[in-house]
């Protein structure tokens, strides 16, 4: 009993140690996460402070660069003004005394001008004037030392036909300091010819003081420097601060190049050290609060993502199981979504359709313009009919099939329209069943008509067989009597020949009576003639024509003239003529080379009208036309180019039209197609 208790206590102690170790590991993990978070906060704040300093420094450096560029522009503008002043002086063409009186005024107005000389083409000094601010700057020895540089500068100005600048050089002074100067030479031009030169001596430090001193010298130190950094002239002072910023800019002048340097210092803000602790504390509290909110938001987001994934999976399963094609387009007409049923319907992969815009690869080539107009109407915001509309698509293999399209606006969660959603139904099977039904009906009608024709043909053949056989027999006997001379001497040949001719006359009369009786049978349809309008005839045959047009992908167009008179005709036979010609025209366009499939039914007044007038019915197709050898035999009975044709259609059509007093003919159309026309008389006015 004691051993059992000790073993249970030992197991409990081991379990407590395990739980303690797990708790400690969990606590250590959370502590390490907090340490990592605090480290990230500190690193973030240090980075922010460093980036703020870098940003401030970059802003100051950019400002200094802009000031340096502006300073170069100001110096260049100053030189331009100086050139204008010298050109004005040259334009006056003053003699020596007046020149000596005019130039000192200019020197007193421009402190950067140290000396102005007027020289001839050989470089000899004709007149000279010095600045009142630097009266003892040059002597004869100084000018002789720089004579070669001056001559080169003047030759360069003559070649440039404008001002040229020399390199800067140092001019020592009696006080042991000296200054850096630069020469500017400008030719004196009269009618385009150089008569001499005007030489202007600049002081570089005076240029900085006069052109830039008031604008930039108060807060920056400005200097002209050499490429190695040696300062040639300096102006301005720098305040005491921690950090120095420097910007340099080249000053390109004709004949020489100067380098302008601008130095500035940035003072550290006084309140920044006091703001930093508060900023760190505020940022820490904000980061912890944001972290807590992010944890809660991440949980809600994960749950929403799982729910959304389940909904998307359910929706995709539904879409994959549909037999209805679905397609989504944006407001610009680009395809943004297609389901597998639509891809299977048109034969294209989803990658080949996404992002495509008009014209679509599954549109028939001859209907691209019509479909683009329809799509433009949709994109303009006009809602399509909810009952749907029919169209024709082309599969990737080139086969065509009819579809029924339902379109609706695509609305997002904000209630805004983002595009159009379309549903497609393949109605090929439905059209095939309708075509079978129509074909059966047409076969029944054709059978009934052929039965009538067969009855008439049987009647004619049966009734005409005996009189024609008798006529043939009597004619043969008469010929035999005439061909054998031994019968000419007898007394009976004339009487027998007379009897044979009488019998032939009797049988011919009988055959005529048979033909008249059959003709009377046919003419009994005259009692069925009625007054009917052309529109009524078109409307009667249009359903059968449209069924055939849907099968062959033909577009039907009707054109009726204004104020057409009604016609007096056998309505059934005329409708059959119009239907037969329309079917022939549509079948003539059932060829892969026919791109534009359009059949036009037109009714207008005939060109030559008689007392009661005539109407002309035209059937125009866009087929390949009729060859000359077929055109000669087109109306021949039992001649046909169709595999299942009987060759009676056009012959009967012409017979019906001629029974009404009209005329049936055809002619070729340009650039392709054939036109059949027939005329019918209008009804007499009451």
Q: Are 120 and 199 in contact (CB under 8 A)?
A: no
Q: Which residues contact 336 (CB under 8 A, 6 or more apart)?
A: 328, 329, 330, 354, 419
In-domain check, residue 250: yes
How far is residue 404's CA from residue 410's CA, in Å, rounded to a whole number?
19
Query: Using alpha carbons only, what angle is made at residue 179 by residues 174 and 185, rounded to the nearest 5 degrees?
Result: 115
Q: Tell whether 538 and 616 lie within a shared domain.
A: yes
Residue 175 parent element (H or E): none
Q: Are 153 and 181 in contact (CB under 8 A)?
A: no
Last residue of a domain, one of 216, 234, 266: 266
* CATH assignment of the domain containing 542: 3.30.565.10
Please give the residue that has the higher pLDDT: either 383 or 145: 145
Taking only the tens place, the pLDDT of each residue in 134-150 is: 777 777 666 777 788 88
Q: Tell whether 595 and 507 lie within a shared domain.
A: no
**Ramachandran angles phi, psi of 636, nearest 5°:** -70, 130
How far is residue 360's CA from residue 371's CA, in Å, rounded to a whole number?
9
Q: Tell whether 211 and 116 lie within a shared domain.
A: yes
The DSSP output letter for 161 is T
Range of the domain at 474: 432-524
Query: Pick from 662, 681, 661, 682: which is nearest to 565 by CA?
Result: 682
In-domain check, residue 300: no
Q: Tell whether 537 and 665 lie within a shared domain.
A: yes
Last residue of a domain, one of 384, 410, 425: 425
In-domain check, residue 565: yes
Q: Tell whether 454 and 387 lie within a shared domain.
A: no
How far is residue 541's CA from residue 571's CA, in Å, rounded to a whole number?
11
Q: Tell whether 518 and 553 lie within a shared domain.
A: no
Mean pLDDT along residues 130-134: 84
Mean pLDDT along residues 601-623: 81
Integer distance in angstroms from the first to the last C-alpha of the chain? 135
Q: Tell whether 231 and 119 lie within a shared domain.
A: yes
Taking only the tens place, the pLDDT of each residue in 316-356 is: 777 777 778 888 888 888 888 888 888 888 888 888 888 88
Q: Are 394 and 363 in contact (CB under 8 A)?
A: yes
Total domains in the fold of the chain: 4
Taking only the tens place, the pLDDT of each residue in 206-265 is: 888 888 877 777 778 888 888 888 888 888 777 666 677 888 989 888 988 889 898 887
Q: Tell whether 637 and 614 lie within a shared domain.
A: yes
How are beta strands 125-130 and 113-119 bridged, if at all?
Answer: antiparallel
Taking only the tens place, the pLDDT of each residue in 544-569 is: 788 778 878 889 999 988 888 899 88
Taking only the tens place, the pLDDT of each residue in 146-189 is: 788 888 888 898 888 889 998 888 888 777 678 888 999 999 88
* CATH assignment of the domain containing 366: 3.30.450.20
């Amino acid at each position: 009993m004691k051993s059992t208790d000790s073993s249970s206590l030992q197991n409990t102690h081991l379990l407590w140690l395990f739980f303690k170790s797990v708790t400690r590991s969990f606590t250590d993990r959370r502590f390490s996460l907090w340490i990592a978070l605090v480290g990230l906060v500190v690193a973030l704040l240090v980075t922010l402070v460093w980036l703020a300093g870098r940003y401030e420094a970059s802003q100051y450096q950019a400002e200094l660069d802009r000031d340096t560029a502006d300073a170069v522009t100001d110096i260049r503008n100053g030189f331009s003004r100086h050139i204008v002043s010298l050109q004005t002086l040259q334009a006056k063409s003053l003699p020596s005394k007046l020149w000596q009186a005019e130039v000192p005024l200019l020197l007193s107005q421009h402190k950067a001008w140290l000396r102005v000389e007027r020289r001839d083409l050989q470089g000899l000094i004709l007149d000279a004037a010095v600045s009142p601010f630097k009266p003892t700057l040059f002597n004869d020895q100084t000018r002789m030392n720089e004579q070669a540089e001056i001559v080169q500068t003047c030759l360069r100005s003559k070649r440039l036909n404008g001002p040229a600048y020399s390199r800067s050089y140092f001019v020592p002074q009696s006080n042991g300091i000296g200054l850096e100067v630069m020469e500017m030479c400008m030719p004196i031009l009269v009618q385009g010819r150089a008569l001499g030169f005007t030489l202007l001596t600049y002081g570089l430090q005076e240029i900085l003081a006069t052109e830039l001193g008031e604008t930039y010298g108060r807060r920056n130190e400005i200097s002209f420097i050499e490429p190695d950094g040696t300062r040639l002239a300096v102006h301005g002072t720098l305040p005491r601060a921690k950090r120095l910023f420097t910007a340099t800019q080249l000053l390109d002048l004709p004949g020489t190049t100067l380098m302008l340097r601008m130095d500035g210092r940035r003072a550290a803000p006084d309140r920044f050290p006091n703001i930093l602790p508060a900023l760190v504390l505020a940022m820490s509290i904000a980061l912890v609060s944001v972290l807590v909110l992010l944890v809660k938001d991440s949980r809600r987001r994960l749950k929403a993502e799982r729910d959304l994934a389940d909904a998307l999976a359910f929706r995709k399963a539904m879409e994959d199981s549909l037999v209805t094609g679905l397609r989504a387009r944006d407001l610009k007409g680009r395809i943004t979504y297609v389901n597998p049923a639509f891809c299977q319907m048109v034969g294209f992969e989803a990658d080949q359709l996404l992002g495509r815009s008009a014209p679509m690869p599954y549109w028939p080539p001859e209907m691209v313009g019509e479909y683009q107009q329809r799509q433009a109407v949709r994109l303009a915001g006009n809602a399509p009919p909810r009952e749907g509309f029919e169209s024709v698509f082309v599969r990737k293999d080139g086969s065509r099939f009819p579809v029924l399209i339902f379109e609706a606006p695509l609305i997002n969660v904000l209630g805004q329209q983002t595009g159009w959603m379309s549903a497609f139904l393949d109605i090929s099977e439905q059209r095939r069943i309708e075509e079978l039904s129509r074909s059966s009906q047409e076969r029944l009608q054709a059978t009934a008509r052929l039965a009538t024709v067969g009855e008439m043909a049987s009647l004619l053949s049966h009734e005409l067989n005996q009189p024609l056989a008798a006529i043939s027999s009597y004619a043969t006997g008469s010929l035999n009597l005439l061909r054998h001379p031994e019968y000419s001497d007898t007394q009976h040949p004339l009487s027998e020949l007379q009897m044979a001719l009488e019998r032939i006359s009797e049988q011919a009369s009988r055959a005529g009576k048979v033909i008249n009786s059959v003709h009377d049978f046919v003419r009994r349809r005259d009692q069925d003639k009625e007054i009917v309008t052309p529109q009524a005839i078109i409307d009667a045959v249009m359903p059968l024509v449209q069924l055939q047009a849907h099968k062959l992908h033909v577009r039907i167009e009707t054109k009726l003239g204004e104020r057409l008179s009604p016609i007096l005709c056998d309505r059934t036979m005329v409708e059959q003529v119009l239907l037969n010609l329309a079917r022939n025209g549509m079948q003539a366009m059932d060829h892969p080379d026919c791109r534009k499939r359009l059949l036009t039914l037109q009714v207008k007044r005939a060109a030559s009208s008689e007392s009661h007038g005539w109407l002309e019915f035209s059937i125009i197709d866009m087929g390949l036309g009729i060859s000359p050898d077929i055109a000669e035999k087109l109306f021949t009975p039992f001649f046909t180019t169709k595999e299942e044709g009987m060759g009676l259609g056009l012959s009967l059509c012409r017979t019906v039209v001629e029974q009404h007093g009209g005329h049936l003919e055809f002619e070729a159309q340009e650039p392709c197609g054939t036109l059949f026309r027939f005329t019918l008389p209008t009804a007499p006015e009451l």
